[in-house]
Amino acid sequence: MIWRTRQHEKRGKLDLSAEAVVMGILNVTPDSFSDGGEFSTLEMAITRAKEMRDEGAKIIDIGGESTRPGAEAVSAEEEKARVVPVIQKLREMPEFDEIHLSVDTSKASVASAAIDAGADIVNDVTGCTADPEMISLCAERGVGLVVMHMQGTPETMQKNPSYADDDVVGEVQQFFSERLKTLTDAGVKPECICFDPGIGFGKTDAHNLSLLTHIDKLTVAGRPILLGVSRKSLFGRLLGIEIPHERDAATIAMTTLARNEGCMIHRVHDVKGNCQALKITEKLIGV
C-alpha cells in the first residue's frame, strides 16, 4: 500500500505495505487539549520536531488551531503566522529532507501557504467540507490528503452526537466512499488519499468504541486508515485519568491493537513509546 504525497525524490511517497508509520503531533497553539502552549514559540517547536524525528516519526503534523471540543476558530492569518515559520525552518534543515511535514488545517489559504513553505500533506479534520477551495487546491498541488470524519464543528461536535439507527460505522464508511468519489472526480489522485474515522469528533464513547472495534471495516478502495486516539478524553473517562499526559499507556495499547487490525498510520504525542509498540507488534505478526 502506497500513500503518495507531493512530488519529491525523497518524500514522494510513504510505503505502508509492511511497516506502519507514526505521525508526531506538533501543536503550535496556546489552547490544544494536551499540549497547548508547550511548543508555541518557534524555538520550542523546532526542538520538539527534532525530538520526534529522533524518536522515529516519519511524519510531523503541525497545527495552528485547536480542534478540541468547544474550541473556537482562529483567523487564517493567525493560523498561518503560527505554522508557516515552523514549516519553513524545518525545510531549511537537511536532517528533515526525508521527514514528511503535514499541516493540520481546514482552511485552503493556510494549506496553500503551508505547501509553499514545504508541507507534503494536508490533514483536514472536516474532510474537505469546510472550505470549498480545499479540494481544488489539493488536486492542483498533488499533496497527500488526510480526510477525517467529523459530525458538526469543534465548537458543537460533542453536543449530543447521534447517528441513524446508531450505525456510526456504516455512516463513516458511507462518508469515506462519498468523499473518495467527490475528491477523485475533482482531480485528487486516489493514491494521495487516506482516511481518519475521527475518534472523539462528534461521537459518544459508545460510538468511539464501536469504530475502534471495527477498524478493519473502515477501509475504502484500499486506501490507508490514519488513527488519532492519542491521549483522548475517551481514555480519561474509561480509566478515570484527568491529566492527558497520563493517558499514553492507553494510547499505546490502542496503537498495538489497531496495527494488528491493519491500521498503518498512527497520529500520536508520545512518538517514542508508540514507535516501540509498533516494532514489537510487527515482530509478533511476522513483518
Residue 159 within a domain: yes
44 class by beta-carbon count within 10 Å (0-12 exposed, 13-18 middle, 19+ buried): middle
pLDDT at 243: 94
Which CATH number fits the domain that encloses residue 111?
3.20.20.20
Question: What does the pLDDT average to over 262-279?
Answer: 97
Tens-place pLDDT, residues 206-249: 999 999 999 999 999 999 999 999 999 999 999 999 999 999 99
Residue 2 lies in a domain: no
Residue 286 is assigned to a structural domain of this protein: no
Q: Are 102 and 23 in contact (CB under 8 A)?
A: yes
Range of the domain at 153: 21-64+78-278
**49 Cβ neighbours under 8 A, 6+ residues apart:** 24, 26, 60, 86, 90, 96
* 267 Cβ contact partners less than 8 Å away, ≥ 6 residues apart: 22, 23, 25, 61, 196, 226, 227, 228, 230
Q: Give the pLDDT score at 74.
A: 87
pLDDT of amino acid 197: 97
Q: Residue 11: inside a domain, yes or no?
A: no
| pLDDT of 159 above 80 | no
- Give how many domains the chain has, as a whole number: 1
Query: Coil, strand or helix: which one is 114?
Result: helix
Tell me what pLDDT residue 157 has: 58
Look at residue 249 and tell me if it is in a domain. Answer: yes
Phi, psi of 81 (to 5 degrees): -65, -30
Residue 71 counted as domain residue: no
Q: Which residues are catalytic?
A: 232, 267
Predicted local confidence at residue 2, as pLDDT: 96
pLDDT above 90 (res 175)? yes
pLDDT per residue as tens digits for the range 29-65: 875 545 555 667 899 999 999 999 999 999 999 999 9
Placement of cell 503550535 in the chain:
28
Tell me what pLDDT residue 8 has. 86
Q: What are 76-87's pLDDT values in tens digits?
A: 999 999 999 999
Residue 7 has pLDDT above 90, yes or no: no
pLDDT, position 160: 72
Looking from the CA of 220 toward its CB, the CA atoms found within 13 Å total: 21
Share of the chain above pLDDT 90, in %: 84
Q: Is the predicted pLDDT of residue 153 greater than 80, yes or no?
A: no
